[in-house]
């Protein structure tokens, strides 16, 4: 019996990546950096999980004489970027992807538990919940496993393993929801079945190993076993 749904956040619950990119670029300007990440830049950088890790990856390709940030500077800049992202969401500039709110509501009504397993940090999960649900993240999700709670980020399985540990459930009782290949590898590394809804930045990813790939989470697109376990019981 299906007992829990475990959701990735960025790209899965909402198309957040443009807000993240805007927050990065605004913070770069505030720091006097001439970095400006285009959509093409960001699509490439998203293959590296974690904001601090993306900055480190980016500056590896800078010209020899370009300014480079230390690890401490990257951490400080990322903290400011997180606040810039929260400010964007506080203005209501983000919507959930189709079907997300309805699926989560139906799952709760059916007694199916709802969790988050994400590479992003806890403040970003909180900002999204406040923006899209108008309440704290813990008012939406029973369990939150975030990137700032584990040592290794996706595609390592750590964050999904943490979610399963906090749910107290075996992987076979749960389904993971992802939008990226790194996310699929992470979830499957924890033994989970994975349903993928590709996002604007991950359309070209290889999802051949996922159990299901659908355009979005509207009821008519859900696989029969999921619809039967959640929608029919709600």
Q: What is the pLDDT along the chain (234 residues), one digit of tens a residue?
A: 899 999 999 999 999 999 999 999 999 999 999 999 999 999 999 999 999 999 999 999 999 999 999 999 999 999 999 999 999 999 998 999 999 999 999 999 999 999 999 999 999 999 999 999 999 999 999 999 999 999 999 999 999 999 999 999 999 999 999 999 999 999 999 999 999 999 999 999 999 999 999 999 999 999 998 988 887 665
CATH number of the domain located at residue range(s) 4-16+95-232 in this protein: 3.40.50.1000
The verdict on whether omega for the bond into residue 6 sits within 30 degrees of 0, i.e. cis, is no
158 given a catalytic annotation = no
CATH 1.10.150.240 fits 17-90, yes or no: yes
Domain segments of the chain: what residues? 4-16+95-232, 17-90
Q: Give this prediction's pTM.
A: 0.91
205 noted as active-site residue: no
The catalytically annotated residue of 10, 158, 179, 205 is 10
């Amino acid at each position: 019996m299906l007992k829990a749904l475990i959701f990735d956040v960025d790209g899965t619950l909402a198309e957040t990546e443009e807000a993240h990119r805007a927050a990065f670029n605004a913070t770069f300007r505030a720091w006097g950096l001439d970095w400006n990440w285009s959509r093409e830049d960001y699509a490439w950088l998203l293959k590296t999980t974690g904001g601090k890790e993306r900055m480190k990856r980016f500056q590896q390709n800078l010209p020899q004489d370009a300014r480079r940030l230390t690890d401490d500077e990257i951490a400080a800049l990322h903290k400011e970027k997180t606040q810039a992202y929260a400010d964007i969401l506080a203005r209501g500039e983000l919507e959930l992807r189709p079907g997300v709110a309805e699926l989560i509501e139906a799952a709760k009504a059916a007694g199916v538990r709802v969790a988050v397993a994400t590479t992003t940090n806890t403040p970003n999960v909180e900002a999204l919940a406040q923006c899209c649900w108008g309440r704290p993240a813990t008012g939406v999700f029973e369990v939150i496993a975030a990137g700032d709670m584990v040592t290794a980020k996706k595609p390592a399985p750590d964050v999904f393993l943490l979610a399963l540990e906090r749910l107290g459930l075996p992987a076979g009782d749960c389904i993971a929801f992802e939008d990226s290949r790194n996310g699929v590898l992470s979830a499957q590394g924890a033994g989970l079945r994975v349903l993928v809804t590709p996002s604007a930045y991950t359309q070209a990813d290889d999802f051949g190993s996922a159990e299901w790939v659908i355009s979005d989470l509207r009821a008519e697109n859900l696989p029969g076993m999921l619809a039967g376990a959640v929608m029919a019981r709600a």
